[in-house]
């Protein structure tokens, strides 16, 4: 993804969360392998894609998602397989590819992705910082983040023992 110096390709706001690609050009290569070729670039697309993601972090588990992805001005810049498409078909085919990929991504990560996969210490920290939360939905220039610690919990008196009576 490339953007000019004046553009910010990554932004955050309260409604859309993370917006990726605004004012940038995205290059996507489809690399294929079969019994005769290994890791050959079959197709290369360049496009103006904008992705919206209301992702969040809860208890050191990342819940990424794609709520919307739109691509326009798509060009087929490398075609090793002889794909025959006109300019309007290229946009439609590329949008189908990225939307199918977004649906797969959402399905794969609907249960979240623990940061402990990066480093097991994140799992330990997640146990110490209770109810840790971070949202990509920013308002007035602030991102919502918070946590509780075990020491912050009130000291409760042990509850009285009550015998349960069944009728």
Which pair of tokens denotes residue 156? 């409760």
Q: What's the domain range around 43?
A: 2-150
Dihedral of CA atoms 149, 121, 116, 135 in degrees, nearest 10, equals 40
Q: Is residue 158 one of the residues assigned to a domain?
A: no
Q: Is residue 155 one of the residues assigned to a domain?
A: no
Q: Give me the half-sphere count of Cα atoms (radius 13 Å) on the Cβ side of residue 75.
A: 6
Q: Is residue 103 one of the residues assigned to a domain?
A: yes
Q: What percent of the chain has pLDDT above 70? A: 89
pLDDT score of 27 more than 70: yes
Number of domains in the chain: 1
Dump pLDDT digits (tens) for 61-93: 999 999 999 999 999 999 988 888 888 889 898
The pLDDT score that the predictor gives to residue 63 is 95
Q: Is residue 56 one of the residues assigned to a domain?
A: yes
Q: Is residue 27 one of the residues assigned to a domain?
A: yes
Dump pLDDT digits (tens) for 109-148: 999 999 999 999 988 888 888 888 998 888 787 888 888 8
Q: Is residue 157 one of the residues assigned to a domain?
A: no
Dihedral of CA atoms 125, 126, 130, 135 in degrees, nearest 10, equals 120
């Amino acid at each position: 993804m490339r953007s000019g110096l004046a553009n910010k390709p990554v932004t955050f706001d309260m409604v859309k969360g993370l917006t990726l690609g605004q004012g940038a050009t995205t290059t996507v290569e489809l690399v294929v392998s079969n019994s005769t070729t290994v890791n050959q670039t079959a197709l290369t697309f360049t496009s103006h894609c904008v992705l919206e993601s209301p992702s969040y972090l809860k208890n050191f588990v990342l819940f990424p998602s794609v709520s919307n992805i739109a691509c326009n001005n798509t060009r087929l810049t490398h075609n090793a397989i002889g794909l025959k498409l006109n300019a309007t078909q290229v946009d439609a085919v590329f949008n189908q590819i990225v939307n199918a990929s977004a649906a797969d991504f959402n399905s794969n990560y609907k249960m979240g992705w623990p940061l402990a996969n990066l480093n097991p210490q994140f799992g330990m920290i997640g146990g110490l910082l209770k109810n840790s939360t971070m949202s990509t939905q920013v308002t007035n220039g602030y991102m919502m983040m918070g946590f509780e610690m075990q020491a912050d919990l009130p000291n409760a008196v042990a509850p009285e023992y009550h015998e349960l009576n069944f009728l």
